Amino acid sequence: MQIPSSARVTARLPEILLVFVLCFLATLTLRFRTEMFGPASAHWNDPIDHWKYEYIAEHSLGSFHIQPTCWRIGVPLLAHILPFSTYRSFDVLTIVFFSLSGGLVYLWLMAIPRPRDEAILGVLMFYSLGAAVKVVLSGVESPDPASYCFILLALYAIYSEQDYLCAAALALGMFFGNGGSDDVVLQCKFTGQSIAGPTDRKSVV
């Protein structure tokens, strides 16, 4: 008899918590070994996207109308709530979302299912992708880390056959990050259902 995915996760809870803690430490290590784009940077005052997200964080909801930035309000709203400066709030959120992303890579690979050592290798590969992690980590004031987090959560939900969790992850992904990436996840999900059928859809995703 196949053990339900939720039961497997509960049985491995200490192991999963350890993975998330290690991902947090890995993210912190990368953060402090990365040259950050901040107020001291030569091009900080250039008219680029970080000013848009700062504006959303520092002004009332609905006061910024330039798309697509005006759709990506989740991270700036959280930055507004946190008791730090705007820049430091974005910095903290970037660390949190990248830490969660690493742990979700592990959960996703275990849900496929893959062996534990391959899941750990997948996490290491995720953190070794400079363009995916270190470059985005250095940008600080961006919703991209949140996009990674909710896309990975949606993929984990698809592979573990948790449709409501998938729907919630996609909804949060639209609010916090890049809606175009959510479209890719939806295409994967429904392509898997139509080609492989509901019993084997994760073999296609």
Assign 187 a pLDDT band (cuts: 50, 70, 90).
low
Please tell me the predicted confidence (pLDDT) of residue 162. Answer: 93
Please tell me the predicted confidence (pLDDT) of residue 183. Answer: 52
pLDDT digit string, tens, across residues 29-74? 999 888 888 777 787 888 778 888 888 888 888 788 777 777 788 8
pLDDT digit string, tens, across residues 99-133? 999 999 999 999 999 999 999 999 999 999 887 78
Using CA atoms, how far apart are residues 21 and 123, in angstroms rounded to an integer?
13
Contact 31, 95 (CB under 8 A): yes
In this model, does residue 205 exceed pLDDT 50? no
Single out the residue of 95, 99, 62, 67 nearest to residue 77, CA to CA: 62
In this model, does residue 195 exceed pLDDT 60? no
In this model, does residue 204 exceed pLDDT 50? no
| Neighbour tally for 100: CB within 10 Å | 21
Measure the CA angle with vertex 115, ends 114 and 119; round to 5°. 75
Higher pLDDT, 54 or 182: 54
- Structure-block tokens of residue 132: 């995916």
Which alpha helices (H) appear in the chain, and where do they start and end? Answer: 5-11, 13-32, 49-58, 74-81, 86-111, 116-128, 135-139, 144-159, 163-176, 179-196
- Burial per residue of 178-199, b for 16 or more beta-carbon CB atoms within 10 angstroms, e otherwise: beebbeebeebbeebbeeeeee
Q: Which of 166-170, 178-182, 199-203 has the lowest mean pLDDT?
A: 199-203
In this model, does residue 196 exceed pLDDT 90? no
Mean pLDDT of the chain: 82
Please tell me the predicted confidence (pLDDT) of residue 194. Answer: 41
Higher pLDDT, 126 or 185: 126
Using CA atoms, how far apart are residues 61 and 70, in angstroms rounded to an integer?
10
By residue count, the chain amounts to: 205
Please tell me the predicted confidence (pLDDT) of residue 128. Answer: 92
Using CA atoms, how far apart are residues 201 and 205, in angstroms rounded to an integer?
7
Highest mean pLDDT: which range of 89-103, 138-152, 163-177 = 89-103
Single out the residue of 183, 174, 130 nearest to residue 150, CA to CA: 174
The type of residue at 159 is Y
- Structure-block tokens of residue 131: 């363009």
- Structure-block tokens of residue 63: 């006061």
The type of residue at 86 is T
